[in-house]
Amino acid sequence: MNPMPELNPQLKQLRLSGILESLEARNRQAIEAKMSYTEFLALLISDEIARRDQKKFTLRLRRAAFRAEKTLEQFDFDRQPGLNRALIQDLAAGSYIREKVPVLIAGQVGTGKSHLAQALGHCAVRQGHDVVFTSQTQLLTQMHAARAVGTFERRFQALARVAVLIVDDFALKPLRSHWVSLSAIFFRLLDSTLLLGGERIVLRVNSGRRRRFLRKGARHNRREHTALRFS
């Protein structure tokens, strides 16, 4: 008697339909290796866990909305010999998330800051954290639109609970006139990301005149932070 046709609807009812993808192959493997029933069951459960973990990873990666797949393995450290590799590896391992320390990445344009920020975000996704990658312009535009349609607080709370919020091009351009009223709310969001359950902020900032804006923001967020400077 072949139980496969009967297992199909039963597994779907139990929300275990993913097992069907490898069931026949695993069944043959179990017969050839003369596995016990418990060994066969453990194999199927292991496959299901791996499938679910991969599904969660893919979903977190899509929600992160990275501009491109930038990983630490792809980062060219030779272009930035002055970078503290030990610190970056420590950050990649999630130390800043566990210790709740914001990360500021500063330096000249085109030196790899955005790549590194996304790479750290990618590492966080691998570790099971929810990540959102955005730019200051995109973030303020979304917040302005949310306020106009009455969904601001819901959007604010959703961002505040994200484990790793990466704000690219922070203070790169002057605020537009209709964004000025949002500047205090923007820094409130950075504080709330730490206070309301979100674990970390990664900010990419550029050098030069933008430092004044960063100092202004420091009044809103006086927490310890880790800084990486690109030459």
Judge contact between 132 and 169, C-beta under 8 A. Answer: no
CB atoms within 10 A of CB 183: 15
Structure confidence at residue 171 (pLDDT): 65
- The amino acid sitting at 204 is R
- pLDDT at site 192: 53
* pTM check: above 0.85: no
Q: Parallel, antiparallel, or unpaired for β 103-107 and 164-170?
A: unpaired
Angle at 16 between CA 10 and CA 18, to 5 degrees: 120
Instruction: Indicate the angle between helix axes 152-160 and 183-195, nearest 10 degrees.
Output: 40
**Apex CA 110: angle with CA 143 and CA 83, to 5°?**
105
Tell which residue, 124, 103, 89, 224, has the closest CA to residue 170: 103
Amino acid at 52: R
- Number of Cβ atoms within 10 Å of the Cβ of 186: 18
φ, ψ of residue 205 to 5 degrees: the values are -120, 155
How far is it, in rounded angstroms, from Cα 84 to Cα 87? 5
pLDDT (tens digit, 0 to 9) for every residue of the chain, 231 residues total? 455 677 888 888 888 888 888 888 999 999 999 999 999 999 999 999 999 999 999 999 999 999 888 888 998 888 888 888 888 898 899 888 887 777 878 777 777 888 888 999 999 999 999 999 988 788 888 888 888 899 988 888 888 888 888 888 766 666 666 556 666 666 666 665 544 334 444 554 333 333 333 333 333 344 455 656 665
- Residue 174 is predicted with a pLDDT of 65
Give dist(CA 131, CA 166) in Å, integer.
8
Residue 203: both structure tokens together: 């900010």
Supply φ then ψ for residue 172, to 5 degrees.
-70, -35
